[in-house]
Chains A and B, each alone.
Chain A
Amino acid sequence: MATRYFGVAMKRREDPRFITGRGTYVDDLTLPGLVYAAMVRSPHAHARIRAIHKEKALQHPGVIAVFTGKDMVDSGVKSLPCGWLLPGMKLPPHYPMAVDKVRHMGEIVAVVIAEDRYTAEDAAELVEVEYEPLPAVADGAKALQPGAPAVHDEAPDNVCFRWSIGDREKTDEAFRRAHRTVKVELVNQRLIPNAIEPRAAMAQYNPATDEYTLWVTSQNPHVHRLLMAAFVLGIPEHKLRVISPDVGGGFGSKIFLYPEETIVTWAARQVGRPVKWTARRRESFVSDAHGRDHITEAELAVDEKGKILGMRVKTIANLGAYLSTFAPAIPTYLYGTLLSGQYEIPTIYCEVTGVFTHTTPVDAYRGAGRPEATYVVERLMDLMARELGEDPAEFRRKNFIPPDKFPYQTPVALQYDSGNYEGALNKALEAIRYKELRRQQEELRKQGRYIGIGFSCYIEACGIAPSQVVGSLGAQAGLWESALVRVHPTGKVTVYTGSHTHGQGHETAFAQIVADELGIPIEDVEIVHGDTGSVPFGMGTYGSRSAPVGGSAIVLSLQKIKEKARKIAAYLLEAAEEDVVFEDGKFYVKGVPDRFKTFQEVALQAYLAHNYPPGLEPGLEASSFYDPKNFTFPFGTHICVVEVDPETGKVKILRYVAVDDAGRIINPLIAEGQVHGGIAQGIGQALLEGAIYDENAQLLSASLLDYALPRADDLPPFEIDHTVTPCPHNPLGVKGIGETGTIAATAAAVNAVMDALAPFGIRHIDMPLTPEKIWRAIQAARAA
């Protein structure tokens, strides 16, 4: 069929509502009788709750109710569940509000419900909580030291799990045989996601029907519904409808079931009125699941020819005070399995210790485990190239998995589907004019100017799957996706997708797929998502899964639609079904294109069923659940060029080139936008961002004044290109592009700065590479 929309850089269909102020985010919604919730949060990182006095707050005019953790537990509310279990891991309870102890700053101890926002916030300050402060620990390594304060009685040594992957013996042996080895200790610092729309929830309970409706900022409303209904509140699943309307960015932070939406849903029933809560930004800082926070020791071994022999990695992963919904998966199966990168590495061994600390829970943040892995691999590659005196690009090239070795089985469980790593590297080198750039770098160094060129040749595993495999690894859910395609009598089409868009442009990209497959104008296609009341159970959007998994589910349903429509058309055309061809929205008998029925005519007949194949059911709709055969593996090369001012330590990004391969691209405009945003977050980690806790586990970087998000003038323009290696195992040939930028950019930027600082003999500085840290490193190097 002629492609008319697939691959076209169409403007987005969702934009008109956003550019005119007609988007509908949770906080924009209101209901008759709406009341507001304000959370009372612990100022301590660790304390015993001696007593909570509600009286003063209750006396405040406009206050309707005050509830505590004990109130919730007494009414039967259970712990928030964890959706990924590892063997032997400790799973202490996590109630929506603290009951006896608080375990991180910002943990909720009570909620005030009042007539309006301002009153609720005022009264929250009147709730008197008697705390007995206890010693606290924020740092993952310190939490493992003997005598460190224990976060949970269930885990006196603060160890949640010990996990490993790969062959230890074989790897140790490779290191014994090695010609050269390098070792680095690095910190992948904790990040705070900061979607610009704060999380929000509004819930309503109807006593006449016993039904709840929850509007929540969610990347996966069905997952929210299932976890909240079945595990925490004990609501029959069909009596809870979860709607996630327009959502202002997620980046992982809106995947998880949080205390706040649970509290609001429960409270709506208690007070008999709809309740809304919207996070203040300072609440986002302490309550949105944080990302990263690894302390790692990594080593690489090579032979005389500079071919890699093995890699050894030991990581302490800080999980925070409680296990967030998917926390255990991130530093294990989404991290250890990615350590082979783009390289042929005969043996890898990786050990991860998951640790509880008195900090905000840590879970998936854009990239989720894969940026951490890429950072380890790509820092090691640079350090080894430097150790061997080889060009970092050529050292990488020498160790790439060659294109004829796919599918490629890594020593850390994954089987890569397809790749052409050299193709992407060459394209990036050309774009940046590498040889000339190295010459310039040389010349400028003589003038006391420090340019650095940094590489990141990354691999990503996205569209996490198949369900059976993830199930065997500890996932408590399947990772397929659903799609219901409903053709209306006039031939217009509504698609109900289990994916959720919160910036990714599904309403456009998915419609492009549908319009092409059915040969109808894109205006005739509507994409519906984010409502458990109308959409079949879906797994939602994270891990760059919407195009490869959600998109494929739509294709499956479209195939079913076309099959049935062909039957109807054959009947109308009085032809054998096998002889009927469908092209450009028309069914015709092979060789007789003038005798045809349009898709719309067939749709109408499907509903009239007057002139209709005997025995065939009327109607034209189909639903599918697509379970992928494998992950998909986007890859690429990013090159960052920086200049470091040795007097101030300031880094200026001069150029940023990204060559990505995400298979076939549905909409280049959207795909490029995803790469831009991803790079911004990756550079943010490299140069600017980082959560800072003090000795008492107080979060110091707890507002946008103290936590540096990238601003427009911190970032360069991006030079984007791509190669296309289609995914061989899904019907669209697409791979997923939402996280590539973030996975790649952090290592590229850090490698660039380290390259710039090479003349000073500086080998490694931990992120974020702030002017102060760089300046200090230069001073120390000069003094030495």
Chain B
Amino acid sequence: MKVPVTITVNGQVYQREVEPRMLLVHFLREVLGLTGTHVGCDTSQCGACVVLMDGKAVKSCTVFAVQADGAQITTIEGLARNGQLHPLQEGFWEMHGLQCGFCTPGMILAAYDLLQRNPNPTDEEIRHALEGNYCRCTGYHNIVRAVRYAAEKLRVQA
């Protein structure tokens, strides 16, 4: 039994029929082919799957596609505007905030959520906010610097 959903992803409206148990992350990856959102665990711990749902960070492995019916989703593919990298993307690049890149999309979107709530976070606040996102490669040092870079840039832009 499939149910119809209408989900807006990165500004584009998609109408699809999905199994009620289909996870949002599989909807994005396998139905829409947006593979920038990753799956790193099965217990909602790693944060590789973080996307923005109506502007807020969610773990898309913990949301059913049907729960996103009517919602606006932003994935990593939709973050750059008109070929212009978002300051967070730029920050991760500039500060070497990624190595294998697998955690990166989730990390960037979790940081996006933080900077919306707190445009001028301390290093400790950054570390605390990213507690739900594992990175096995970077030791987080440069991720913190990347987020700080973006925060500064966004404040200048604002």
Q: Inside 8 A of B75's CB, which chain A residues have their CB? A: 21
Answer whether residue B128 sits at the interface, using C-beta atoms and an 8 A cutoff.
Answer: yes
Please indicate the chain B residues that have their CB under 8 angstroms from the CB of A16 in the complex.
Answer: 93
Across the interface, do B36 and A196 meet the contact criterion of CB distance under 8 Å?
no
Evaluate contact between B36 and A718: CB separation under 8 angstroms.
no
Quick check: is A504 within 8 A (CB to CB) of the other chain? yes
Across the interface, A679 reaches (CB within 8 A) one of B42, B123, B139, namely B139
Interface residues in B11-50 by Cβ distance below 8 A to A read 19, 21-22, 26, 29-30, 33-43, 45-46, 48
Q: Which residue of B lies closest to A674 (CB)?
A: B99
Interface residues of A in 280-318 (CB under 8 A from B): 280-282
Q: Is A505 an interface residue (CB 8 A)?
A: yes
Q: Does B142 contact A (CB under 8 A)?
A: yes
Query: A670 within 8 Å of B by Cβ?
Result: yes
Taking the closest CB of chain A, its distance from the CB of B90, in whole angstroms, is 8
A505/B99 in contact, CB under 8 A? yes
When distances are taken between beta carbons in the complex, the residues of chain A under 8 Å from B139 are 676-681, 710, 715, 718, 741
Whether A676 contacts B134 by the Cβ 8 Å rule is no
**B-contact 0/1 string along A217-259, CB 8 Å cutoff:** 0000000000000000000000000000011110100000000
A80–B101 alpha-carbon span in the complex (Å)? 31
Q: Across the two chains, which residue of chain A brings its CB closest to B90?
A: A19
What are the interface flags for B130-151 relative to A under an 8 Å C-beta threshold, 1 for contact and 0 otherwise?
Answer: 1101111111111110000000
CB proximity of A720 to chain B, nearest CB, Å: 9
- Please tell me if A176 contacts chain B, counting CB pairs below 8 Å: no
Of all chain B residues, the one with the shortest Cβ separation from A23 is B101
B99 touches A504 (CB 8 A): yes
A20-B89, A25-B38 are contacts. A196–B136 as well, Cβ < 8 Å? Answer: yes
Cβ of B60 within 8 Å of any chain A Cβ, yes or no, is no
Most buried by B among A11, A248, A503, A505: A248
Question: Are B100 and A673 touching (Cβ within 8 A)?
Answer: no
As a 0/1 sequence over residues 1 to 28 of chain A, the CB contacts with chain B under 8 angstroms (1 = contact) are 0000000000110111111111111011
| Neighbouring A residues of B22 by C-beta, 8 Å | 118
Report which of A503, A709, A710, A712 forms a contact with B144, defined as CB distance below 8 A. A712
Closest Cβ neighbor of A246 among chain B residues: B101
Asked whether any CB of chain B lies closer than 8 Å to the CB of A713, the reply is yes
Residues of A within 8 A of B30 (CB): 30, 117
The answer to whether the Cβ of B76 comes within 8 Å of any Cβ in the partner chain is yes
A673 to B136, CA, bound (A): 12
The residue of chain A having its C-beta at the shortest distance from the C-beta of B108 within the complex is: A19
When A21-B37, A669-B96, A712-B133 are in contact, do A503 and B101 touch as well, CB less than 8 Å?
yes
A715/B38 in contact, CB under 8 A: no
In angstroms, Cα B140 to Cα A282, docked, is 24
List, in ascending order, chain A residues with CB within 8 A of B89's CB: 19-20
Contact of B141 among A17, A24, A247, A718 (CB under 8 A): A718
A12 to B93, CA, bound (A): 7
A194 interface contact, C-beta 8 A: yes
Q: B127 at interface (Cβ–Cβ under 8 A)?
A: yes
- State whether A247 touches B134 (Cβ < 8 A): no
Closest to B125 in A: A713
Give A678 to B46 CA distance when docked, in angstroms: 19
Closest A residue to B75 using CB positions: A21
Instruction: Identify A196's interface contact among B19, B100, B131, CB under 8 A.
Output: B100
CB neighbours (8 Å) of A717 from chain B are 123, 141, 144
Q: A20-B89, A118-B19, A195-B136 are in contact. Are A502 and B123 (CB under 8 A)?
A: no
Instruction: Determine if A592 is an interface residue (Cβ-Cβ < 8 Å).
Output: no
Say yes or no: A25 contacts B96, CB within 8 Å. no
In the bound complex, how far is the Cα of B16 from the Cα of A116, in angstroms?
A: 17
Given contacts A16-B93, A18-B98, A703-B43, contact A715 B36 (CB under 8 A): no
Q: How far is A710 from B79 in the complex, measured between Cα atoms in Å?
A: 28
Q: Does B64 contact A (CB under 8 A)?
A: no
Q: Is A446 an interface residue (CB 8 A)?
A: no
Proximity bits, B74-103, A CB within 8 Å = 1, else 0: 011101100001000100111010111111
Give A704's nearest chain B residue, CB to CB. B45
A11 and B94 within 8 A (CB) = yes
CB–CB B93/A503 < 8 A: no
CB-CB nearest in chain B for A282: B42
- Residues of B near A718 (CB, < 8 A) are 139, 141
A197: interface (CB < 8 Å) = yes
Complex contact A196–B37 (CB within 8 A): no
Which A residues lie within 8 Å of B108 (CB)? 19
Indicate whether A19 sits within 8 Å of B96 (C-beta atoms), given known contacts A196-B103, A705-B45, A713-B124.
no
A673–B36 touching, CB < 8 Å: no
A196/B34 in contact, CB under 8 A: no
Chain A residues with Cβ under 8 A from B135's Cβ?
Answer: 196, 712
Q: Which residues between 678 and 711 of chain A lie within 8 Å of chain B, taking CB atoms?
A: 678-681, 703-705, 709-711
List, in ascending order, chain A residues with CB within 8 A of B7's CB: none
Given A281-B42, A705-B43: A21 and B77 within 8 A (CB)?
A: yes
B98 touches A704 (CB 8 A): no
A198 within 8 A of B: yes
The answer to whether A681 touches B92 (Cβ under 8 A) is: no
Contacts of B43 in A (CB 8 A): 281-282, 703-705
> Given the complex, which residues of B lie within 8 Å of A12, measured CB to CB?
93, 96
Chain A residue numbers with a CB within 8 Å of B19 are: 118
Give the residues in chain A near B80, CB-CB below 8 Å: 20
Interface flags, B98-117, vs A, CB<8A=1, else 0: 11111111001000000000
Contact A18 B104 (CB under 8 A): yes
Q: Which residues of A contact B126 (CB under 8 A)?
A: 712
Taken together as a complex, chains A and B put the C-alpha atoms of A19 and B146 apart, in Å, by: 12
Closest to A194 in B: B136
What distance in Å separates the Cβ of B98 from its nearest Cβ neighbour in chain A? 6
Q: How far is the CA of A556 from the CA of B78 in the complex (A)?
A: 43
User: By the criterion CB–CB under 8 Å, are B131 and A711 in contact?
Assistant: yes
The answer to whether B77 and A196 touch across the interface, beta carbons within 8 angstroms, is no
CA of A268 to CA of B140 in the docked complex: distance in angstroms?
40
Q: Is the CB of A280 within 8 A of B42?
A: yes
Q: How far is the CA of A673 from the CA of B133 in the complex (A)?
A: 18
Bound together, the chains give a CA A14 to CA B99 distance in angstroms of 9
Closest CB in chain A relative to B127 CB, distance in Å = 4
Q: How far is the CA of A342 from the CA of B74 in the complex (A)?
A: 52
17 A-B interface contacts by CB (under 8 A):
A15-B98, A19-B92, A20-B80, A22-B77, A118-B19, A196-B102, A247-B100, A282-B43, A503-B100, A672-B96, A676-B140, A680-B136, A680-B140, A681-B139, A704-B41, A712-B130, A715-B127
What would 12 more interface pairs be, CB under 8 Å, given A21-B36, A30-B33?
Answer: A23-B101, A23-B102, A30-B30, A196-B136, A249-B102, A281-B43, A503-B99, A703-B42, A712-B133, A712-B135, A715-B127, A715-B139
List the 4 shortest-distance A-B pairs measured between CB atoms, nearest first.
Answer: A21-B36, A248-B102, A18-B101, A680-B139
Residues of A within 8 A of B (CB): 11-12, 14-25, 27-28, 30, 117-118, 194-198, 246-249, 251, 278, 280-282, 502-505, 669-670, 672-673, 676-681, 703-705, 709-713, 715, 717-718, 741
